[in-house]
Structure 1
Amino acid sequence: MIIACLHAADSNIAVLSQSLAQLAWPQVTLRHDVVAELLAEAELAGGLTPAIIDATRERISQLCQLADAVIITCTTLGTAAEGGRFTKPVIRLDAALADEALRHSQHLLVLCTAPTTLASTQAMFQQRLRQAQRLQVVCVPDAWTQFKAGEIAACHRTIADFALTALAQDPTIDGLVLAQSSMSGAAALIEGVKVLTGPEASLRSAMALVHHP
């Protein structure tokens, strides 16, 4: 079984590969495609344009010809998959993460780093929210600048510090989501709450859709 991953950053290749190794699925092979230029265009434009959506869908369609399922790991570009017609299952990492997170938490804190992902992440979780559940979606200051500068360890520390401060201020939070796959390394630095990341959630979703479409 081949799962293709559409990334906007090279660093996410290792993140998804490590998550697959932890799941111990020898029958699954990952194929990676990086489209950093499309995210850069979205940042310059302040969001997705019709041209970026078309280009993203074209790359997804190409990957569908090479794999059994496609995971879009970029939360900004993931929006482009909505409304597209594809020949194989296409999984938005943030959607798989939202589904899993909201099954287990009553008060969820969702953290982002890239400003372009904030609105789509908020909408994604809000659509799935049940009446009794509470949701906060926040962009961590400075983390995206550090990530783009290649200061990955500092970025993860910034995310963890922000999360720990928020948890200390509001002990009713019972679930923490790191919404972007590039944030996953911060999970090991956060204690006192269940931390969910997208790579494993999206891989589990892809496996389920391939076997039970």
Structure 2
Amino acid sequence: MRISFLHTMDGNRQVFEQAAKTLGLRAEDLQHEVRADLREAVDQAGTFSDELRAQTNQRLLALAADSDAVILTCATLGPAVADIRSPRVPIVRADVALAAAAAEAGGRIVVLCAAESAIESTRKLFAEHASKSAASVEVVHVGHVWALFRAGDVQACLAATALSADEAYEAGATVVAFAHPWMAPAADLVQKGRRPLDSPSAALHVATRRFSERSGHA
């Protein structure tokens, strides 16, 4: 199975490759395209314009032409997927896959979100999925984690993420979800509760399941 990824951060390549390895997927079957310029254009314009949505769709369709599934790893560009009608292969939004996995887990969901700009869209997305079950959602802003991430202090950033997850479990969370793909490695450091949900694993589970369903192997 060949999977292509559209990233806006080069660092996300590694966390998705690690998640794929855990699922038994081969590195040579993964293709990565990094388009930081698309995310930067959205930030500069202050909106995800029709032109930028069209550019995003163009890249997704180009990747789909040579893949069995495509995963869009940037939540900011996510809405563009809705514009693609009946794609020839599954096109998966990593953030949607994560929200769906959290809703399926149910109970009290705590989402750790580092970037303040992403809080509202994250809350809306998770609430939308949780409304289909009896789950409740709380989005917790972990600004100190974002500061460490921006400073490039990876180990301290992941340790702080894990500590925030432990605190959420101690406060009664049923499941913790990491809003950003780069948080995924912190799951190995969490001491309390179940393993937190991360978007690389959630997205790859959805992509492989949809591929199997289309191939008649489900």
Count of matched residue pairs: 211
Asked whether the 8 Å contact 1:3–1:28 carries over to 2, the reply is no
What secondary structure, in the 3-state scheme, does the structure 2 residue paired with 1:142 have? helix
Match of 1:87 in 2: 88
Give the deviation of 1:160 after TM superposition. 2.4
CA distance, structure 2, for counterparts of residue 108 and residue 126 of structure 1: 10
How is 1:162-177 mapped onto 2 (pairs within 5 angstroms)?
162-168=164-170, 170-171=171-172, 173-177=173-177
What secondary structure, in the 3-state scheme, does the structure 1 residue paired with 2:192 have? coil
Taking a change above 3 Å as real, the CA distance of residues 47 and 111 of structure 1, as seen in their structure-2 partners, is farther
CA distance, structure 2, for counterparts of residue 158 and residue 179 of structure 1: 14
Aligned residue type for 1:165: E
Match of 2:119 in 1: 118
Matched, 1:210 2:211: yes
Q: What is the TM-score of this pair, normalised by structure 2?
A: 0.87
Report percent identity of matched pairs. Answer: 32
What secondary structure, in the 3-state scheme, does the structure 1 residue paired with 2:185 have? helix
Match of 1:20 in 2: 20
CA RMSD for the aligned pairs? 2.1
How is 1:2-13 mapped onto 2 (pairs within 5 angstroms)?
2-13=2-13
How is 1:27-176 mapped onto 2 (pairs within 5 angstroms)?
29-85=29-85, 86-129=87-130, 130=132, 132-168=134-170, 170-171=171-172, 173-176=173-176
Aligned residue type for 1:7: H
- Unaligned runs of 5+ residues in structure 2 are none
Asked whether the 8 Å contact 2:176–2:197 carries over to 1, the reply is yes
Superimposed CA distance per residue, residues 1-38 of structure 1 (whole angstroms, 9 cap, x where no aligned partner)? 21001111111111111111111135981100111122
- Unaligned runs of 5+ residues in structure 1 are none
Asked whether the 8 Å contact 1:47–1:116 carries over to 2, the reply is no
CA distance, structure 2, for counterparts of residue 139 and residue 54 of structure 1: 31
Asked whether the 8 Å contact 1:9–1:35 carries over to 2, the reply is yes
What secondary structure, in the 3-state scheme, does the structure 2 residue paired with 1:82 have? helix
CA distance, structure 1, for counterparts of residue 148 and residue 82 of structure 2: 30
